[in-house]
Structure 1
Amino acid sequence: MSTQVELKVYPNKLDLALYEPCTGYTGQTLSSWLQVNVPAYDDREEPLFSVNINGEHVLPSEWTIYKFKRGDDIKLVVEAKDPITIAYAVIAVIAIGVAVYAANQIPDNYNSTTPDGSSIYDINTQGNKPRLMGVIPEGAGRHLIFPDYLTMPRREYINNEQWLYLMLCVGKGEYEILPQEITIGNTPVNRYVGDVDYQVFGPGEDVTTHEAHRNVYTSSEVGSTAGTNGIELKGKVTNSGGSNSVYDYTFIDDKIKVYMVEYEPELGGYIRYLVMPPFDIGEILTVQFSLENQNDGYYKLIEKGRNGSTVKKVDGQFQDDPNWTGFITESDSHANVNVENSGGDGQFNGPFFACPKGEKTNKLWLDFSLPRGLGELDDNGNFLSRTVALKIEYRDDGALSWTPVDTITFTNSTNDQLGRTVSVDIPTKIRPEVRVKRITAANDDTRIYDEIYWTSLKSELESATRYEGMTTIAVKIRGTNALAGSAENKFNLIATRKLPIYENGAWTEPKPTTDIAPFFAHVIKSSGHSDNKIGLDEANALHSIWHARGDEFNAVFDSASTIFETLKRVLAVGFAEPTIDFGRIIPVRDQKRTIYKHMYQPDNYIGQLDRSISLIDDDEPDGVEVEYFSPITWKSETVICLLPEDQGINPEKVRAFGITSRDKAYQYGMRKRRTRRYRRTRFDFKTEMDALNSRYLDYCALADDIPGYEQTGRVQFINGRSIFIDNENLIWQTGEPHILALRKPDGTLSGPYNATKGSAINEVIIDRDLDFQATLNGTMEPPLYMFGINTRWCNGVIIRDIKPSSIDKVSVTADLDDDRVYLDDDSLAPIL
């Protein structure tokens, strides 16, 4: 003989003092108990509750095996499966369904916060920019994108033409990009034949096939500034009237004697005489012979004189060398003596570090520009060839000695601007400092064009070879006059997101799509949830509606947001919202409906039904002004949405994030305007557990307590189509068609049925057979009914809020629906 056992159901695992006692029987399995006592129960891969018997955790696989025994301590604990569920896991497992309120106000969208980097929604900030530590933009549907820098732009001279390299991030995910929709400014790149080269890389593809992939750092200490072309490399001026002058040196003890050697035409030969050295006290001099010499090195000028200048030897860091005892005597030397550290005529410029502190490189680029060309005019106006030679040296941070690079020479005969990028490969990675000097003498002859500038110092840092999870584009642009002003920060494109689509119970390969449902599912899946957390069937049903209507979601997310806020934005363009039901996120659409889901009337209220009506305020908006993004100009435009009685003097301003159609923006605005105007009645009531049957935005039948409207009560007896009720004073209105609706055991509405008066005073005859089997033996609550004339038998309401307040009480808020809300859902925007 079976005996009863007690099951304790804990709605909140954080408060084990609160539980609901339930009854089972010995020999019964948990699985069979759930099926008998929990009508909504279904087997799940991840149950919404855990089972503990006699202090031991019982796995779901054992629920069909273990049989209750007398004296068992059985505990069922509701387990929250995610942060959103935690907030609402306060009800017993007996009512496993939970409907969650989601606010129907769309967040003020485009730029609620200022993102790091560019924003396509603000015309004042549109452009390519770095997004340091920012959110990787993610596109949905078809939209304009200004890709963000993955590496900083760099320029390089190739065959005396300057080219710009850009490595850009289109966005997270995979996109379709058509060649004709890639532009610089407003001009498609295919108009610049030969001037633009680009390559699109999908997520994870090798980007090293394009030179733009390199992560190049440009030193801020070398380069052009306002009014200058860069660092001018100056050579010693040696022309003093037409004959070349040279210096000879004598090195003895700690002194340097400087001799000027000049050609004397009257003597027909050279003369040599002591001169004041062309150096200043305190300057660092480099002494270098054409062949190896022990006097080579750095020297600091201590005292300056015509008959000899005193120096002190220093090291590469310009520190005194205490071991130096003097020069090895050398007379009439043609050594090169230059000032090391001032960047003056004929001196080294620099050194400058090529990469930031903490970084190393083995690849350098140095840019040089000759703005007036290179050459020499002869007496007949012909342009003759001329050569300029440069010396480049580098060393590691902290090193004493310099490593020379092969002498760089420029030779040409033109007055057109010239430029060259010199690349330097370093055997091992170091943090180099670089210096450059001109070793060709300068000339003050106005017919000679040989000014040269050092305009840039660059180094390659660690470069990515692929970018997982994002689409990138590498670009190489010739710096022509047509592109000079817009190429670097106005590169843009129109991309269409590729996403898998759920069809016939399976996911397709990613394909270009502007539909709402695929991106809705993607948002949830990209947050780490599996398919069983997505209301795929519900989304697929709405997909058919959205696609047929032409509803699209076209947007770019470039600032941080929560998954729920993102889903609200995505679904809003289709008049829908996200809710959580049985642990799944599902979309529900606010649309015109005629079939009622559930019935609520005084017999299943707790307390009174509260009605509140919002009256029209003189100050409330008299229209809606919708801001949307035009797919033609890709700028914000507006459309005004007015009812016939509206003047539009004080419209509500709304931003339609994700809408790029004027007609759709109008429909969106008119829905908001009509909702504000015609949904002004709200109902608040409480039930026991009944309201947990409903979901957010369900369309339900609600009984009112106003005399002359519906009549309600309980069914006493059913005989075929004859329904006997508990009201012997049922009011029939002559000449009016009547309706009877019944409540099924699961809370859903049966009917409504056309009703006629029976022979008994409490008999109602319906026009067709009932669609459920009523239980009237007292084991459960009998069916409830609502009765009235065809136009006033119930209030059709939209469920707005369901809040469990304990294990036996639920608060409900509902709006009185009005068919006028939906009248402009397919309307076209007025012609401008």
Structure 2
Amino acid sequence: MKPLNATHPLQIYSNVFTSQPDETHAIPHGTLLGEWLTANIPGFDPDNDELTFSLPFDQPVTAPVDCHFVPKKGVVKVLTFGLGSYLLSKMTPKPGGMKTSKRNETQGSEIDLSSASNQAVKYGQPIREAFGRSKIVPDYIVPPRRYFGPDGKTHWIEGLLCVGVGDYDIPASSINVANSPIVGLGGDNYATIYGPGESLAAEPAARWWHTSKEVGPTSTGGSGLALGTVSDATRQAPAGSYLFSGKTITPVSGQTFPTNWETGMYLQIENYRDYQVAGNVLSGDMAGLQVSGGDSVELAGDAIGSRAVTSYTAPTTTNAGTPSVWTAQTAPALSYASEPAQFTVNVGSVTGVVTLNSDYLDEPALIDDINDQLTQTALSGLVSVSAGLMITELPNYAARKITVTGISGAVRVFGSVSQANQNTVIGTARVEAEPAKLTLAGFDYSGSSVRLSINKAGETFVITGVSANLLTVDRVDGLGASTWLGWTTGFTTSSTSLQLDPDTIEGGWVGTFAATPGDELCDRLEFDVFMPQGLIRYDSDGDPHEMPVHVYFRYREGPNDSWKQVSKPFRAQTRDQFGITFSVDLPTPKRVKECQMRRRFAERNKQNIQDKLEWFGLRARMVRKIDTYPDLTTLAFRLDGKSTSAESESQINVIATRKLNGVATRSIGEAVNYIARNTDMDTAAIDALSADWDQRGDYFDFAFNKATTVKAALDTALMAGYAEPTVKSGLISAVRDTKRDPVMLHAYQHTYSAQNTTSEIITQIDMPDQNEVEGLDVEYLDETSWRVETLRCELPGSTGARIEKIECEGITSRTKVYQWGMRQLMSRLLDNVQYSTKTELDARNSEYGDYVNFVQEIPEWSQSAVVESVSGLHVRSTEPLAWVAGEQHVIALQRVDGTMSEVRDATRVDEFTAAIDTPFEMTAIPQETALFFGIKSRFANPAIVRDVRPSGGETSISAIAYSELKYQYDDALPPA
């Protein structure tokens, strides 16, 4: 009797790929097979006739069950309900994306916060496996560690990334952050590649640091968690973007106003903007300021204090101007190799010399060369040449006069230069808009630009209405009266501060947050304190001084344990942002589930003091670590924030070439052999195709980032070489149709005629319709830009009315993509003739992708018969031969293996007999050997097999017609 927990194996076999089970699953004893498959295999289809099970679906499982995969139509297929061999099967978890934020409300410079945004890998997904040459954005293996350097102004990130399964050739110069090579960043930035199995024991970036997600940048744009004060009313509105319009303020990035704000509360509003400085005059956007000479303003930001207003000037608008234009008098010559031309282009007082000493395909090519030469002169960025050899001034327009001075041969380029110079058109100069200007008495700033919040002195903002999503304010004087018109033009900004009058009491604890995940142990804690506005105080004379602050950090394993507290006082004199990373070493590894922090004294909230503190980060270094990854290529890196935060797309990426058999290669054949390395391969066929691919320069450059099957991977790899997988004699093989040598078009190909078919040979022609595609837009990853580009493939004269968009994977060369796309287009246009028939056993000699002949019984076209006799150069048929006056005839025989002999020219001897000029290279058997006869241009129809289907004693075969036109663009160059 079976125990209650007994199971039986379900063994999945694919006869195409292996003689061993591809997968084995355990099914509980007594479970109905169909019920288990439905419950455990997503998308299971009981009607899939390509799967055969050794047990009916409605029977209980009491013994091992076998599932066999039976491919149809001679083509390799895959199991369609989730079982089967996967090419990429190794998974590793990675943390979700981490967001950094910079706040723009400091008086000094901002820290560049480090960010290495890489492709996320969720648990259970496969690791990438790349072939050929690819741009790869590696994935995190362990979470990255971010921390501040000793100078407090550099934010570092270090981590370990996975390039992919296998070994890769990755030059140091091809390891980039966005588009910048890491080797060129200098300093302590570095990136190191570790091959499969190399030790990472001494690599600090390979350590697992767990970062608490609750501590750090906030969803409303804050850099960290404010170490603030305890008060009855919320002192400050959340950070984020706000719309200022009229006398209303509206949150526009998801934040809401504090619920305990009330009408009548006074509000400090600081909008920080950049202004240009010229002496004591500020220029820029001053919407809502509403001041005039004699008023005073309060400044915050890069300058602090009150200043008297000398004058205020409202802004004006911009006049863009018009370009100067010089136009040639005639169309240019295109040949200058034997008779060069040289001329000078003059734009005002700036000149540039152009020399033409080449022959050009057309006028656009000539114009491109002239423009390229102009960019190498002082005229770069001033003018551009366009169709008709029109020289046009580029923005910003300065009303410069454009002329040309001929040196030699200029008349062949432009015609009459003197006439063109007389006709030159002088444009109008751009007149810039004048921003609002504010002149302040006693204002003195050393820079050319300044970041300030400017408010009218003596007037205060007061809340006149408040809800979660709308704040109404007015600006009143000391008596409560208002003449303020509001922010009449309106603007949106995230560089703003909305807060009530400050309270001054001790800061409260922020937290509690866990430092370690699950039951993991750590031996070190790190926490970051960030000063988003710097740390500084000014005396009454405006002189700067150090500002001291003090934070407390405490932690414990759980709520029943006592707190362990550390005190961290520090001081600074800087208005620049900076941060400090503190560490706490644990003598004994612990699980730290609770951490808190607070500041000792409250934030001052005075214009002469900047002491805002934020809890920026919390990390724990795990005791558990992995020192080697046997099957993976990894990348350890350390980068500062200046290298990673400039653009949102800043990603660590590499240009990597896969190594197979120890050698970097882009070979299609090498990739195919690797993908199918655990199967029985038709190596001779793959080697033959590889020689052709290598000779043509066809490569396979592709990274598999998702789980796939061997069949799907082979499809992708072979597509790059115009081939596809198939099965021949039980082996995985590949077929690729290409242009045939006309001499050997018919010879040595299996031939089907009335002599070996059991039914009529049917020709089916799909006639073109109004929806037939005229061209293809091919999307591909370009090897130069490493972006997805689109290339139009169409025939000359195409109207472009019916364009189909397709994707090309594995080909990165624009030229090769064009050739591939044109092959796809020609297939759509020409694969419209199909032949089909039935034989007894003969058709089983043909396989998918084979070249074959069809000889049809068409009067005065082609026919088949049987050889009655062969005497010297005379061949006699058992049936009359259909001679057509004025036509050239040919004759061929069928070999015993079913293939056609060489085709010989035939001349009439009599109705049954033909004379040939050269003997056949085979011996005909009278009354047995088949004979093929007809007009030379159409006696046999070459075709490519698409389906061979045995059924009982008969075999059906179908094929598409061969046309050499299909391959006419296989070596073509794409349009310019």
- What TM-score does the superposition give when structure 1 sets the normalisation length? 0.65
Match of 1:805 in 2: 951
Give the structure 1 partner of residue 636 of structure 2. Answer: 474
Following the alignment from structure 1 to structure 2, what is the Cα–Cα distance between the partners of residues 692 and 487?
A: 60
Provide the C-alpha distance between the structure 1 equivalents of 2:833 and 2:68, rounded to a whole number of angstroms. 30
Deviations 1:52-100 (A, max 9, x none): xxxxxxxxxxxxxxxxxxxxxxxxxx999xx9994159xxxxxxxx944
Q: Secondary structure at the match of 2:931?
A: strand
Please list the CA deviations of residues 654-706 of structure 1 after superposition, one character each: whole Å capped at 9, or x if unmatched: 22222222222222222222223233211111111211111222221111122
* Worse-superposed segment, 221-230 or 153-162: 221-230
Correspondence 1:665 to 2:817: yes
Higher relative contact order (CA 8 A, sep 6+): 2
Query: Are residue 725 (structure 1) and residue 877 (structure 2) matched?
Result: yes
- Tell whether 2:901 aligns with 1:750: yes
- Within 5 A, what are the aligned runs for 1:351-370? 351-370=512-531
Q: CA deviation at 1:772?
A: 4.0
User: 1:494 and 1:712 mapped to 2: Cα distance?
Assistant: 59
Q: Alpha-carbon deviations, 1:522-569, whole Å to 9, x = none?
A: 2212xx32xxx2222222222222222222222222223332222222
- 1:387–1:412 CA contact under 8 A, matched in 2: yes
Q: Aligned equivalents of 2:954 and 2:583: distance in 1?
A: 77
| Equivalent-residue separation in structure 2 for 1:349 and 1:721 (angstroms) | 105
**Could you tell me which residue of structure 2 aligns to residue 688 of structure 1?**
840
| Cα distance in structure 1, aligned partners of 2:851 and 2:822 | 21
Contact map agreement 1:218 1:458 (CA 8 A) in 2: yes
Question: Once the 2 structures are TM-superposed, how far is the Cα of residue 170 of structure 1 from its aligned partner?
Answer: 1.9
Of 63, 70, 81, the match for 1:87: 70
**1:150 aligned to which of 141, 147, 151:** 141
Separation of aligned partners in 1, 2:905 and 2:794? 39
Taking a change above 3 Å as real, the CA distance of residues 636 and 222 of structure 1, as seen in their structure-2 partners, is closer
Instruction: Choose 616-625 or 385-394, whichever is displaced more.
Output: 385-394
Cα deviation 1:268-292 (Å, max 9, x = unaligned): xxxxxxxxxxxxxxxxxxxxxxxxx
- The one-letter code sitting in structure 2 at the alignment partner of 1:579 is T
| Conservation of the 8 A alpha-carbon contact between 1:143 and 1:554 | yes
Is 1:819–2:964 an aligned residue pair?
A: yes
Gaps of 5+ in 1: 1-44, 48-77, 90-97, 104-115, 119-125, 238-342, 501-509
**Within 1, Cα distance between the matches of 2:886 and 2:603?**
115
CA gap of 1:227–1:86, structure 2 versus 1, over 3 A, is closer
Q: Distance in 1 between matches of 2:635 and 2:207?
A: 13
Pair 162,709 (structure 1): closer, same or farther in 2 beyond 3 Å: same
CA change 1:190–1:663 in 2 (3 A) is same
Query: Residues of 2 paired with 1:171 and 1:517: CA distance?
Result: 20
Cα distance in 2, alignment partners of residues 690 and 491 from structure 1: 59
Q: Which residue of 2 aligns with 1:589?
A: 736
Residue 738, structure 1, aligned to residue 923, structure 2: no
Partner residue of 1:613?
765
1:425 is aligned to 585
Deviation per CA, 1:616-659: give whole Å up to 9, x if none.
21221222222222222222222322224532211222222222
Query: Which stretch shifts more, 157-166 or 715-724?
Result: 715-724
- The correspondence for 2:126, drawn from 112, 120, 135, is 135
Of 613, 620, 625, the match for 1:459: 620
Q: One-letter code of the match for 1:433?
A: K
- Tell me whether 1:206 sits opposite 2:199 in the alignment: yes
Contact 2:513 2:596 in 1 (8 A): no
Shift of 1:412: 4.4
Map of 1:298 onto structure 2? none
Which residue of the partner structure matches residue 253 of structure 1? none
Q: Structure 1 residue 786: deviation in Å?
A: 0.9
Distance in 2 (alpha carbons) for counterparts of 1:658 and 1:139: 10
Listed as ranges, the matches of 1:299-698 within 5 Å are 345=506, 348-374=509-535, 388-397=549-558, 399-404=560-565, 407-437=567-597, 444=604, 451-461=612-622, 462-480=624-642, 483-486=644-647, 489-500=650-661, 510-525=662-677, 528-529=678-679, 533-594=680-741, 595=744, 596=746, 597-698=749-850
2:99 corresponds in structure 1 to: none
2:739 alignment partner AA: K
Q: Distance in 1 between matches of 2:185 and 2:837?
A: 68
Distance 1:536 1:499 in 2: 16
Shift of 1:612: 0.9
- Provide the secondary structure at the position in 2 that maps to 1:547: helix
C-alpha contact 1:199 1:210 (8 A) present in aligned 2 = no
* Cα shift at 1:818: 1.6
DSSP 3-state at the match of 2:901: strand
Indicate how the Cα distance of structure 1 residues 561 and 443 shifts in structure 2: closer, same or farther if over 3 A, else same.
Answer: closer
Distance 1:563 1:138 in 2: 13
- Higher-Rg structure is 1
Q: CA deviation at 1:411?
A: 4.7
| Deviation, structure 1 residue 720 | 5.6
Contact 2:53 2:67 in 1 (8 A): no
Rate the CA distance shift 1:127–1:685 in 2: closer, same or farther, 3 A.
farther
Match of 2:938 in 1: 792
- Count of matched residue pairs: 600
Q: Secondary structure at the match of 1:647?
A: coil
Q: CA deviation at 1:155?
A: 0.9
Q: Deviation of residue 588 (structure 1)?
A: 1.2
Q: Distance in 2 between matches of 1:512 and 1:633?
A: 22
Counterpart CA distance in 1 for 2:829 and 2:604 is 84
Distance (whole Å) between structure 1 residues aligned to residue 574 and residue 865 of structure 2: 104
Measured after TM superposition, the shift of residue 414 of structure 1 is 4.3
Q: Does 1:176 align with 2:169?
A: yes
* Cα shift at 1:451: 4.8
CA distance in 1, matches of 2:681, 2:633: 26
Q: Which residue of 1 aligns with 2:304?
A: none
> Which one-letter code corresponds to 1:87 in the other structure?
V
Of 164, 173, 179 in structure 1, the residue corresponding to residue 157 of structure 2 is: 164
Matched residue SS, 1:199: strand
**Structure 1 match to 2:860:** 708
Question: What CA distance in whole angstroms lies between the structure 1 residues aligned with 2:635 and 2:648?
Answer: 14
The Cα offsets for residues 433-458 of structure 1, whole Å up to 9 and x where unpaired, read as 34345585568596666554322111
Distance 1:771 1:430 in 2: 87
RMSD: 3.7
Alignment deviations for residues 169-225 of structure 1 (CA, whole Å, 9 cap, x no partner): 222222222333332223333442226311112223223433222222221332242
C-alpha contact 1:641 1:669 (8 A) present in aligned 2: yes
Counterpart amino acid of residue 211 in structure 1:
P
Q: Note if contact 1:235-1:438 (Cα within 8 Å) is conserved in structure 2.
A: no
Partner residue in 2 for 1:311: none
Question: How has the CA–CA distance of structure 1 residues 79 and 811 changed in structure 2, closer, same or farther, with 3 Å as cutoff?
Answer: farther
Q: C-alpha distance in 1, partners of 2:537/2:831?
A: 86
Aligned counterpart, 2:422: none
1:197 equivalenced with 2:348 (yes/no) = no
Q: Which amino acid aligns with 1:177?
A: I
Does the 8 Å contact 1:390/1:436 carry over to 2? no
Aligned partner of residue 542 in structure 1, secondary structure = helix
**Secondary structure of the corresponding residue to residue 960 of structure 2:** strand
For residues 139 and 588 of structure 1, what CA distance do their matches in structure 2 show? 23
